[in-house]
Every structure is written in C-alpha cells, then in structure tokens.
Chains A and B, each alone.
Chain A
Amino acid sequence: MSNSDYDIIIIGGGPGGYVAAIRASQLGMSVALIEDKHLGGICLNWGCIPTKALLRASEIKHMLDNVDEFGFSVSNIKMDIDKITKRSRKVASQLSAGISHLLKKNKVKVFEGFAHLDKGSSDLKTVKIKTKDKDIIMTSKNVIIATGARSRNLPFVTSDGKNIWDYKSAMTPDKLPKSMIIIGSGAIGMEFASFYNDLGVMVTVVEALPSILPNEDEDISKIVETNFVKRGINIRTNTTLKSVETFDKNVSAEIICDGKIQTITSEKLILAIGIIANTENLGLEKFNVKIDKGHIITNEWLETDEKGIFAIGDVTEGPWLAHKASHEGVLCVEKIAGHKNLNPIDKSSIPGCTYCRPQVASIGLTEKKANLQKLNIKVGKFPFVGNGKAIALGDSEGLIKTIFNDDTGELIGAHMVGPEVTELIQGFSIAKKLETTEHELMHTVFPHPTLSEGMHESVLDAYNQAIHY
C-alpha cells in the first residue's frame, strides 16, 4: 500500500462535483476538488440559475403587459436589457461565492486549474493540475470525473458570439435583437424562446422532430405549442437546418421542411441542439474508461471499467440534469465510503423541468412510451381551468396528466404544463420514490385552494372519480 494525498480527488466543481466533495467530507474523507473555470459549474454560472433570473424578468414583463385585467393601468414601461442581464449575472456570482464558502466550511481543498490523469504506483492515480503559475501533482485511489458538458455545434455552423449565439451569448445580450432563430426545441431552446418573445423579439423555433419539447408527453407539447403560436412565436417542426450564412447585421438560415428548402433571416441565431461531454485532455485514454457516443460509461454505482475512476453528471449518460448529477455524486461517494443498503438511481424517477411560460414539468414515462412498453395503463387528465386557485391567479392554461399501471396501481408517469408546475412536480417525485399507488394518492388530503389540487384531481380522473372536471 502506498500513501495517497487524498481519499478522493474530484475533477469538476459543478452540481455533481461540489456536492460529491461536500458529502465525502461529511463522511470524513480528505477531498481535493479541481475546477478550471467557475465553482458551481455551468448550472450555476451559465445555466439553470442565471436563466431563471432572466425568465423572472420576462415573467414580470408579461405581467406588466396584462395588469389591466387586475384593475391596474401602467404606462410608459421602460425596459433596460443591460440591467436584466446584470441582475442575472449577479445572482450567479452570489451563488458561486456561496459554493466557495460551503467548500471551505467543509474543508474541501479547492484547486483552480485543468486536471490531467496518469497512472500512479499500485492502485493510485496521479492527477496533475496546471494552475496559472505552476503544476501541482497529487495522488488518490479514487478519482471522480465530474467535468460536465458544453453546448454542441453543428459541422457547418459554430457559435461565434456575434450573430450566432450559444447559451452564454444568449444570456448576455448587449442589446435586444429584433428577431432570432432558435435551433432546437428542448428545454434550453424553449426557455430562450419564451424569454425573448416576452421581451418583444420575433422568435422562430426550428425543430427537426414532429413536436417541440420532443421528450415530453405529446399532450403537454401540444399545449405549449398552442400557447407559443398564440404569442406569435413561429414554430417550425419537422424542419432541419441545412446551412447558415452570417452577415454583418444578420444571419440567414436554409431550412428543409417536407423536402422544400427555404431561407429565413433574422438578426441572431441561437444553437440549442444538445450537449457534448467534456472528456478531452483528461488523460482518460490511458485507462480502461469506456466512452460511448461521447459520454463516459459507468456501472450503476458510477464506476467506470477502470477500478477507482468514477464519473458523474453530464459527462456520463443522460438525463443531463443538475439534480441527477448531484444525486450521482452523493451515491458515488457513499459507495466509495462502503455504505451498505444503497440503491442505484432509478432513472424513471428523475423529474425534469422547463421554465418557459407556461412551465413544463414531468417525471416517468410518457403515454407513448408506456404504450410502447405494452403496459396496461390508466390515464388521468385535469386542466387548470377547473382549478380555483389557477383561475384566481389569472393563469389557468395548462394540464396535469397522470399515468398509472392499471395492473398494479403504480404511478408510472406525471406530466404537467401550467402555473408553477415546476414547484408541484416534487409531489409526484415523492410519490414515485415511496412507491405509492393510486390509493394513497387518492386518499391524501390536498390543501384548498391550491394549484396542487389539480394533481389530486388528475389521479382521481385516471380512476373516473374526478370531482371538478
């Protein structure tokens, strides 16, 4: 046995890495965390959090535009995009500083720099960190790769930060463009579409698949699409991007729909077509670490084929969500600590949220996927128009859909669109985790008047017992 410098070395300080580091420290391990750019990762600095700050601004804009209904009249509303952006950045930096404090409090050694792995003596791994002024070398038996992912470019179009934007440029516009094309209608694309549309930008969404939010249940996607179209967003589904040409003041994109080529032009174009994992230059090729379709392959305990090298979060297989990364971090560390009675993460029980207006939240199987698995299902639907609180809020567009296994009463999917559904979905997450059946959900007392009553009604509807619809 050779002595190692740390019990665990974690590469990457995003929601996977920093959570893993804190958990490891709680369990009495010595931990080194290596981060190249910013603690908190993309999520906190350039993803989940700053976009929520931006969307808060566009929500307020939407509210101001509709105050009349509530008995107010405002005039001369002025918008300062610079201020909106700055607030978003401030929120991010406040949280990043918070992470730094948390790590310090938990005695995690944080190193700034880019890490590179090498084989060490016996079962040790050597990690070389290139910092600003020097190289640091350290060893450990356990290394967790939590390097995350970055946005994907297309072979013929790469974001340049001028007229072709990636998420970073889209979050920090100098001035509001008049028009934009968004390529991809996943969560990121839809959030930008909603944000810019509410601020008055002419938005066109290009999606190769037949519906927007293609991972969501079809009923939910349809409601979002109807809402977007009504707001003036141009939705182009079944449409692929052929080429992009940039000019000084705008971009033009050739798109193909039904075999017909068409050229559309706008001031900006946002690429939101998914991610690629950051697996390069880490030295992984020296180890028995398998990479498939760009992502690191692990077992259910997040260990790669190389003993002692683990991978969590976006660098591994999907879903690529911050909360999945954090959970993996905790599980991985507890496994390394030798905890018994751990359960692997059940990927069918990871909720997903999209913060466009109307919000979308879901967990488990869609109706289509349940049918593909030939499950005997019962489906409940409850529209927010039957919910008192939603009507009082003036926000009654939306639907709560629940899917049960008819044979066992297992809740296999819940899909929601409408007011604050991203906050509601956790109820179904708990229900799924505790393996409740329709019986417990039907006999749970939901408070009145709340939006959550719609969840209850949807369950009741699956068994033909809905009261308010």
Chain B
Amino acid sequence: MSVNILMPALSPTMEEGTLSKWLVKEGDTVTSGDLIAEIETDKATMEVESIDDGTIGKILVREGQEAVKVNEPIAILLLDGENLSDIKSIKKVPAIESVQEIEKIESKEKLYFSSNKTSKIDLDTNINIENFKKNETRIFASPLAKRIAKQRDIDLSLINGSGPNGRILKTDIENFNNNKNLLKNKITTNNSNSELIKNSSMRKTIAERLVQSKNEAPHFYLSLDCNIDQLLKIRTMINLKSNDKYKISVNDMIIKAASSSLIKVPKANASWENENTRYFNNTDISVAVAIDGGLITPIIKDVQSKGLLEISEDMKLLANKAKDGKLLPEEYVGGSFSISNLGMYGIKEFSAVINPPQGAILAVGSGEKRPIVINDQLSIASIMTVTLSCDHRVVDGAVGAQFLSVFKDFIENPSLMLL
C-alpha cells in the first residue's frame, strides 16, 4: 500500500511551511532515514527524512511552494513492488482537507513527522492528485534553465521569464544570478523609482511576531549607565592568557552578567501565558543575530551553569549556524530572556521590542568614554548604556529596576559573577 509523505511539523507551533527544495525526484528509491526534502519554516531550513523504504511515486507539492499546511501530503511513496498505476487505479488519493481531519488522524496515528498508511484513511473523503495539480502554479522554464537554476540553488518562482508566455530561459537565470544581491526576490519593476521584493517566510514571521509583541505586550523602558572599565580590564587579562585559543567578547560577559542577574532576580525571568505566568529556573538567553534578510535569536541555554569560555564558544557556533540558515528549531525557539546589542554600530542607546512570549529584553549600546562625576570630581570612564524593555504584565517597574541595578553591579564588579 502506498504511503503519503506529509508535511512535517518541525516544531509544536508550526502551522505551515515552504517546501524549499526537493532532494529526490519521482522514481528515486529511498530508504528509511534518507533525506528527501528541505522545508523552510519561520526561521530555518530543515531536512525531512523518509520513514519508509520505497520509491517516490509522485511529488505533489512543487519546489518553492509556500504555506504548505502541516500534514498536507507532499509526496506519495510507493512501497516494494508497487508502481504509479497502482495509485492511479485508486483514483482518489487520500489526503487531508480540514483541521479536524488532521486531528483525527493525529490521534489515530500520533503523527508528528512523516507519513500515514493510506489504507487507514477513508478513501472517499478526500482530494485527488488532480486537485493538487490545480493548486500548483506551473512554472514554465526551459530544461536548461531548470538545470542551471538547480545547480545554482535558485528558486524559479522568483524569476520573471522572458520567453513566450513568461517561459524562463537560461538568460533569465543568468541575469538573476548576476544581480542576485540586488534583485533577490524581485517580482516586478514597473516603477523605475522602486522595486518590489517578495517577502521571505522569515521576513513575514519577524513582522508577525513584532506586531504581536507591540500589540499585546505593554512595553515600558528602563535605562541605566554602566561603567565598564573593570570589565574591559578583566577581559583584556583573560584574552592575554588565551594563546589565541579563545577570545572572550564584551557581549559574552554581558550574557553572563544578564544570566547572573536573572538568577538573583528570578521575577524578571518570566513569561506571560494569559492564565498563568511562567517563571523559569534556567536562564536560556536569546541573543539577536543579524543575518541576510532578517534577524534570528539563537539561544544560549543554561547560561547560569556555563563559564565565559563555553558561552563564547556557543555564541560563535550559533551565530555561524544562524548566518548559514542551519539553526535547528530547538536552537532558536524558546528562551527566557533576550539581549540585543547594537554597540558595534556605535549606537549609544536604544529600546528593543520584546521577543514574545518572553517578559523582557535588554538593549545594549556601545561602550564609550564619557565624562562622569565621582565624588564631585569630573573624570573619564568607559560607559555603556543599557535599556531594559519589560512586558508590564509580568515584569513590574520595581522588578525591572531591581534587575538592572543588579546587572549594573555585575558589570561594574565582574568578579562577583564568580560567586
């Protein structure tokens, strides 16, 4: 009996995703565990494995198709001894039409990742292959254009074809590739003063979550100046001993100080869940990383139990994975508190939008020499301004202020972090 390969849920909250790339084609033999497709979710690209042995009989979702619902069949796997005519003879290929349907099957089969046996679903309720075909917008492209696009990993749906009826030709791919940096995702340019860029699913997710945050979480902001002379001195000392084996950054130390502060002020380590407020025991710190086309917040987990070296190594690894688009969902979904640092751009101070459902985010400005007054004397010190954005539903003014003053204490007396 043939098996439907379903759109997997890569995280418990995922509702739909983009099928960014097929790694197999119709007729390919696969064994359980083989990678068959790449799915682009909110923030990362994930690979999908086959859970059965067999032959890919029919691909139902074209490469690049967006908003493929979780549990929608994406391909049909033929098991041993079957061929495509077996599917045709069934005529109506079982598929899932409604959410209820999905839930029904899920409860039956505990579907999470891959497939369901067609035999177990009522054959009459569903959509046939033809319907799937209708839903696709067929892309016309020359064989050569298709091949070059595949070699260069270019999504044909982003390209305007110059051939008859918009057929995509080699030259369209070449022009697209030449201008890749400028024209990525370009749709049309009827207006010479502007151009339309298609939003990636990452861009859409960022937009959705930021709007949600600003609409739902009542933000308030607290700012404080921290003297980082001591911190810089210690950092220099630590790095001097490294023999080039490591290089601790100010940011690594800020992550550590934030974690230590959250441990001391656990009320700031919380998230709003409507009926309840969740207080975290661990400090899982999300750190905003700018990547091509957006930003992502990989999580350094259990920072409270990690030293600076481990934090630094984690940060480097996650930042690289983020830039390559290789973060796994568990590496960026969750977290209890966020840090956004724009100090490297010379930003003096700014306020950040909370990363929901977290309760607070710390916005870090650049460290710079400023005149300060100590004992009525004017002197110079390296000062860094930090701004805490709090979700007032979970973090009250006093809690936020308490957190910041503890944070300032750690930053100005880094040795306290050893305690």
Contacts and interface: CB of A to CB of B under 8 A. Distances in A.
B170 interface: yes
Nearest to B170: A435
B348 to A, nearest CB: 51
B162 interface: yes
A78 B317 CA distance: 91
14 contacts: A341-B164, A343-B163, A343-B169, A408-B144, A408-B147, A408-B148, A410-B144, A434-B143, A435-B143, A435-B144, A435-B169, A436-B142, A437-B143, A437-B147
Nearest to B164: A341
Interface residues of A, number: 12
Interface residues of B, number: 13
A231 to B, nearest CB: 41
Nearest to B141: A435
Contacts, number: 32
Interface in A190-219: none
Nearest to A433: B142
Contact of B142 (A343, A407, A435, A439): A435
A410 B145 CA distance: 10
Nearest to B165: A341
Contact of A341 (B142, B147, B151, B162): B162
Contacts of A343: 162-163, 169
Given A408-B148, A408-B151, A410-B170, A436 B143 contact: yes
Interface in A310-341: 341
A409 B164 contact: no
Contacts of A300: none
A440 interface: yes
A431 B147 CA distance: 15
Question: Mostly helix, strand, loop or mixed at chain B's interface?
Answer: helix
A58 B318 CA distance: 78
A439 B143 contact: yes
A440 B145 CA distance: 13
Given A434-B143, A435-B143, A436-B142, 9 more contacts: A341-B164, A343-B169, A408-B147, A408-B151, A408-B170, A410-B144, A434-B142, A436-B143, A439-B143
A191 B129 CA distance: 58
Interface in B86-127: none
A345 B136 CA distance: 33
A343 B143 CA distance: 18
B147 A409 contact: yes
A99 to B, nearest CB: 29
Contacts of A409: 144, 147
Per CB-CB distance, the 8 closest pairs between chain A and chain B, nearest first, are A435-B142, A435-B144, A437-B143, A410-B144, A436-B143, A440-B143, A437-B144, A408-B148
Interface in B167-197: 169-170
A436 B163 contact: no
Interface in B121-165: 142-145, 147-148, 151, 162-164
Given A408-B151, A410-B170, A436 B162 contact: no
B175 to A, nearest CB: 13
Contacts of B162: 341, 343
Nearest to A434: B142
A408 B166 CA distance: 22
B66 to A, nearest CB: 26
A320 to B, nearest CB: 25
A117 to B, nearest CB: 34
A463 B144 CA distance: 17
A348 B163 CA distance: 17
A409 B166 CA distance: 22
B4 to A, nearest CB: 29
A440 B146 CA distance: 12
Interface in A66-91: none
A103 B143 CA distance: 39
Identify the interface centre among B143, B145, B170: most chain A CB within 10 Å of its CB.
B143
A409 B142 CA distance: 12
Contacts of A436: 142-144
A434 B143 CA distance: 8
Contacts of B170: 408, 410, 435
A439 B147 CA distance: 10
A301 to B, nearest CB: 14
A433 to B, nearest CB: 9
Interface string A414-441: 0000000000000000000011110110
A440 B144 CA distance: 10
Nearest to A432: B144
B289 to A, nearest CB: 35
* Residue picked from B144, B164, B170, most chain A C-beta under 10 Å: B144
Nearest to A410: B144
B211 to A, nearest CB: 39
A76 B145 CA distance: 60
Nearest to B151: A408
Contacts of A341: 162, 164, 166
Interface in A342-362: 343
B145 A435 contact: yes
Nearest to A343: B162
Contacts of A439: 143
Interface in A335-392: 341, 343
A439 B144 CA distance: 10
Interface string A259-272: 00000000000000
Contacts of A434: 142-143
Contacts of A407: 151
Contacts of A440: 143
A437 B148 CA distance: 10
Contacts of A408: 144, 147-148, 151, 170
Interface string A281-325: 000000000000000000000000000000000000000000000
A443 to B, nearest CB: 11
A307 B142 CA distance: 34
A410 B151 CA distance: 13
Contacts of B166: 341
Nearest to A409: B147
Nearest to B148: A408
